[in-house]
Amino acid sequence: MTNNQKVKISPSILSADFTRLGEQVAEVTRAGADYIHIDVMDGHFAPQITIGPPVVTAIRKCTNLPLDLHLMIESPENQINQFANAGANLITVHIETCQHLHRVIQMIKDKGIKAGVSVNPATPISLLDEILPEVDMVVVMTVNPGFSGQIFIESTLGKIARLRAELDKRDLNAELEVDGGINEKTASLVVKAGGRVLVAGSAVFNTRESIGDAIKRLRESLV
Ligand code: DX5
Ligand code: ZN
């Protein structure tokens, strides 16, 4: 099996045209995306305020793909119920925002959905040691949370490789998602390092090409 076949793509709708959000979600679905990545920011942990549960409810009606929610918010434990009820299939929280990470992961799982944990570029993966067996996904940020279209931070590649080795060594099945600055140049570096789910915002939603062509180009860059 080639890397191309194993790798999943999770388009980040933060880069979508919000005046046509439903159409764009339907278009990435038709184009063969594996997840829909939804970036939730609160203006505190991450500088922008983006998307809340009512928009997730609307997106839920436009696709059958799993909704991959990335909560970049303080006190995420207060929002789990609302986002799960809005139709999330997977909720990822940041380790930097959780005083009681194990409890928050448990809260997510108790809603009958998958749970993920994310680390910022400056956060060491050693902090994940104890929680790895409990999570369905680990998200390595390759930009600082906040915006689409930022430049990929290359020094995170070593971290991805070490995390891949750790997951394999301990025979853990958590998916390794990589988020930020993914394009046709960086995608193959990330996959070589061990990333298996690629979040892509500006590489998928842009004015240069159709969404279908953009996803195809990203996949072809992995061959
Ligand atoms: C950044 C978000 C990312 C972002 C990705 O805080 O978590 O998901 O939207 O956008 P690109 O792929 O353009 O870096
Ligand atoms: Zn994200």
Ligand 1-lining residues (CB < 6 angstroms): 12, 14-15, 37, 39, 70, 143, 145-146, 148-150, 179-182, 199-203
Per-residue burial over 115-145, b if 16 or more Cβ lie within 10 Å, else e, is bbbbbbeebebeebeebbeebbbbbbbbbeb
Higher pLDDT, 5 or 123: 123
Kindly provide the residue ranges of all beta strands, DSSP E only, lying in 8-72, ordered along the sequence.
Answer: 8-11, 36-41, 67-72
Q: What is the DSSP letter of 112?
A: T
Q: What is the DSSP letter of 118?
A: E
Q: Report CA-CA distances (Å) from 152 to 121, 142, 178.
A: 10, 6, 10
Tens of pLDDT, residue by residue over 48-94, are 999 999 999 999 999 999 999 999 999 999 999 999 999 999 999 99
Tens of pLDDT, residue by residue over 22-59, are 999 999 999 999 999 999 999 999 999 999 999 999 99
Which tokens in the block code for residue 113? 């959905």
- d(C-alpha 162, C-alpha 127), whole Å: 13
Catalytic residue among 34, 39, 110, 168: 39
171 catalytic residue (yes or no): no
* Atom 4 in ligand 1: residue holding the nearest Cα: 148
Kindly provide the residue ranges of all beta strands, DSSP E only, lying in the chain, ordered along the sequence.
Answer: 8-11, 36-41, 67-72, 90-94, 114-119, 137-141, 175-179, 197-200
